[in-house]
Amino acid sequence: MTTATLLAPIQLRTLSYRPKVSVLISNYNYDEYISQAIESVLSQTYRNFELIICDDGSTDDSKEIITGYCRRNSQIRLIAKENGGQASGFNAAFASSTGELICFLDSDDLFRPTKLACLVEAHQDAPDAGFGLHRVQRVNRRRRPQGVWPMASVLPHGWYGEQMLQSGGVLCYMPPTSGLSLHRTVAERIFPLPDSYPLASVADQVITRLAPLLTSVLRRQEVLAEHRLHGSNNYGQSKVTADTILREITLAGSTRFPAIP
């Protein structure tokens, strides 16, 4: 029997009628942008959410800004730790989360107001798909539009497990961190993310390579987030190939990523 015939989507737990959404932010020295990121979550039309922010050892005023929001809103929680990279920040935030659905927000990005509502609707309409995608609007430092990603290509949709085994484990036209969501059943199989070099700063790359091996992909074609490009982005600057990521995941040890039934 071949490996491909053994690969199949995992079974997902059934979502509740109004599932809680955990929004996870890993922040490092983005005091210029973190308020806008938080406000974009607080402005959501869907209200059953928690916002968990891990401050990854910032040396600017980020922690003070986040603490102020926590004092005013019980839906926001701050986890402060020493600097360890984006993946370690998401690991700490996820460990403290309780939501049935997980979505990620870079601390210099923003959600559009209907992001969570569309996310919940999409996952409820596709109960067997545990990895959600949508388009993002690229913006500059002042939020001026810089084009939509992907602009013309259609986002992946459906089961790609066997195809990924044959194509090197990469799906094309994947959105960045703020365009991804996970059913908790899937997130529990992926987390904790590897937090050593070179994967510590490319959490989205790890997620987009592992999640489609576990579950079907669902998509929303509309723009539901803004991805800010400002020339000093903390994460995503290093060039990491698929071969590098797969090699590092293997070196991390098979117990980090349980076998797929």
CATH of the domain at 166: 3.90.550.10
Q: Does residue 260 sit within a domain? A: no
Q: What is the reported pLDDT for 157? A: 95
Q: Does residue 10 sit within a domain? A: no
Q: Does residue 8 sit within a domain? A: no
Nearest to 27 by CA among 73, 67, 74: 67
Nearest to 134 by CA among 105, 164, 108, 156: 156
User: How many of the other CB atoms lie within 10 Å of CB of 236?
Assistant: 18
Q: Does residue 259 sit within a domain? A: no
Q: What is the reported pLDDT for 38? A: 98
Give the helix ranges, DSSP H, for the chain. 3-6, 34-42, 62-72, 86-95, 115-125, 161-167, 184-190, 203-214, 242-252
Range of the domain at 88: 18-252
DSSP 131: E
Q: Does residue 234 sit within a domain? A: yes
Q: What is the reported pLDDT for 1? A: 43
What's the domain count of the chain? 1
Distance of CA 45 to CAs 23, 70, 97, 127, 142, Å? 14, 20, 21, 22, 24
Q: What is the reported pLDDT for 232? A: 64
Query: Per-block average pLDDT, block size 10, for the chain (261 residues)?
Result: 69 98 98 98 98 98 98 98 97 98 98 98 97 96 91 88 86 92 98 92 94 96 95 50 42 37 32
Nearest to 56 by CA among 89, 32, 21: 89
Q: What is the reported pLDDT for 96? A: 98
Q: What is the reported pLDDT for 230? A: 84
- Evaluate whether 175 touches 135 at the Cβ level (below 8 Å): yes
Q: At what angle do helices 203-214 and 242-252 cross, to 10 degrees?
A: 80
C-alpha–C-alpha distance, residues 206 and 35, integer Å: 27
Q: Does residue 156 sit within a domain? A: yes
Distance of CA 123 to CAs 14, 31, 80, 183, 241, Å? 10, 32, 31, 8, 30
DSSP 174-220: ---GGGEEEEHHHHHHHPSPP-STTTTT-HHHHHHHHHHHHSEEEEE
- Evaluate whether 32 touches 62 at the Cβ level (below 8 Å): no
Q: Does residue 6 sit within a domain? A: no
Q: Does residue 97 sit within a domain? A: yes
- Record the tokens describing residue 85, joined without a space: 């990279």
